[in-house]
Amino acid sequence: MSAEPASITSYNDEPGLDVLVSRQPVLDCDMRVIGYRVSYAAADRDLFGSRPPDLSEIRLFGDFLSVVGLEELVGSSVAHLPVSGELLRTLGMPPVRPDRVLLRIGYETATDPALQPIIDGLAMRGYALSLHDLPGPDFDVELLERFGTVELDLPRWDDDDAGNVVLQAHAGCAIPLAAGLIEHSDYRRANELGFRLFSGPFIATPRVTAMRQVPIDNLGTLVALTRMRTTSATIEELEEVINHDVGLSVKLLRYINSAYFGMRHRIGSIRQAVMMLGTHGVSRWAILVALTGGPSAPRELGVMALTRARMCELVGRRYTSVEADELFTVGLLSVADALLDLPLEAIVAQLPLADEVADALLCYGGPAGGILDAVVTYERGDFEAPSVRAHRDGLAAAYRMSLSWAQQTLAAVG
């Protein structure tokens, strides 16, 4: 039996979708996900031909809601959704329930007198509004009567100006949100300045950043499983490694017996699983569970790791001859530093990885590294980046399928 629980034939046969879409988590001071910042764009800038800009905006927004949908992208969470002045002017009320979205409106749009009745109407109907792209610390604080959130792209602000905005936001009963946070040091800075919501790729970075020697015992199971994927491990060897970690063996059996694998008969032991799926297949899913199934692993990081792994695999099949298994491993391990709170260089140094895999993880080197670069950049919503444009065909479909697969997989792991 194949060790692949979900076919990717549908991805290979699916035509390119019109809408590029991704999400980034928004976290509170307790590092809980309270919503997602949504990015969306047309897959082809010439998609709308000679249509007027306002009609293009409406079609793109409509395609986003109909082709993707909020439920698929953010589940029951709130979508932090950007809306332009053109969209508001033409559409008025967006066709989404107020409790499902926080509408992100730029400062220039928010201060346009022609749009004031529409914005007032949104606030009266219960839509949460977020103000972004402020011109500076001396902004019109009367806007806080309608805008309950104020966003700053924090790397572009110095501490004094950012701190002044935070104070004004608190005084106006608005919540300050720090966006664009790259590292955990950026998060700490934002927290110290008084921000209450946080967003950016920092969540996928380790809290520990200084290089240090990592004891091999801290990564023992992961090292052993990785080594078995590069050698011809026997059933007994793989069984011994997995059974040595009780938590891993329990979660792995639960996953393999889930409806997601569709086994006809219940698998009762690791040996039986290896006999059914093979050493290579079981070791792959054991690494997945070891990385993302621990009690201290944040669910959001698990979703991100699995989404990257599957997306690298899917996109790579269109653009490179690199083995799908290598691409999956590269995507999965790209979040290992955040999951283990260790520098990625230290983790890679301990794992018996092929040089190509290590180069892809540390330098975005080689064909696999190019795919990983495109996947990570797409995840951040930078759809015009060269790495994304070079792999654009199929990215939208790959992201959506990978995100769905990741969520189902984590649910099965339990």
Q: Comparing 9-13, 82-86, 284-288, 381-385, which segment has the lowest mean pLDDT? A: 9-13
**Stretch(es) of the chain classified as CATH 3.20.20.450:** 10-202
Q: Where are the CATH 1.10.3210.10 domain residues in the chain?
A: 213-413
How confident is the model at residue 90, as a pLDDT?
87
Mean pLDDT of the chain: 86
C-alpha distance from residue 28 to each of 25, 127, 179, 400 (Å): 10, 20, 12, 25
- Domain 10-202: which CATH class? alpha beta
Range in 98-102, 112-116, 227-231 with the lowest mean pLDDT = 227-231
Strands, E, within 242-367: which ranges? none
Indicate the pairing of strand 78-82 with strand 101-106.
Answer: parallel
Q: How far is Cα 218 from Cα 214, in angstroms, rounded to an integer?
A: 7
pLDDT digits (tens, 9 = 90+) for 182-202: 999 999 999 999 999 999 999
Higher pLDDT, 368 or 232: 368
What is the Cα–Cα distance from 398 to 394, expressed in whole angstroms?
A: 6
Contact (Cβ atoms closer than 8 angstroms) between residue 230 and residue 354: yes
Which CATH class name applies to 213-413? mainly alpha
**CA nearest neighbour of 332 among 308, 313, 353:** 308
Q: Provide the percentage of residues in the chain whose pLDDT is more than 70.
A: 87
Q: Which of 68, 11, 17 is nearest to 314 (CA)?
A: 11
List phi, psi (to 5°) of 173: 60, 30
Check residue 298 and give its pLDDT.
Answer: 85
- Would you state the pLDDT for residue 412? 78
With tokens 């346009």, the residue in question is: 112
Paired strand residues for 132: 106
The mean per-residue pLDDT over the stretch 111-129 comes to: 97
pLDDT in tens, 62-99: 888 887 889 989 999 999 999 999 999 988 888 899 99
Look at residue 270 in the predicted model and tell me its pLDDT.
Answer: 87
d(CA 102, CA 291): 33
What is the pLDDT confidence band of residue 140, given thresholds at 50, 70 and 90? very high
Q: What was the pLDDT predicted at 44?
A: 66
Number of helices and strands in the chain (H, E): 20, 8
| pLDDT for residue 401 | 94
294 falls in which pLDDT band (50, 70, 90)? low
Distance, CA of 264 to CA of 252 (rounded, Å): 17
List, for residues 235-283, the tens digit of each pLDDT value: 888 888 888 887 788 888 887 887 656 677 788 888 888 888 888 788 8
Confidence of residue 165 (pLDDT cuts 50, 70, 90): very high
Q: How does pLDDT run across 366-382, given as a tens digit for each residue?
A: 999 999 999 999 999 99
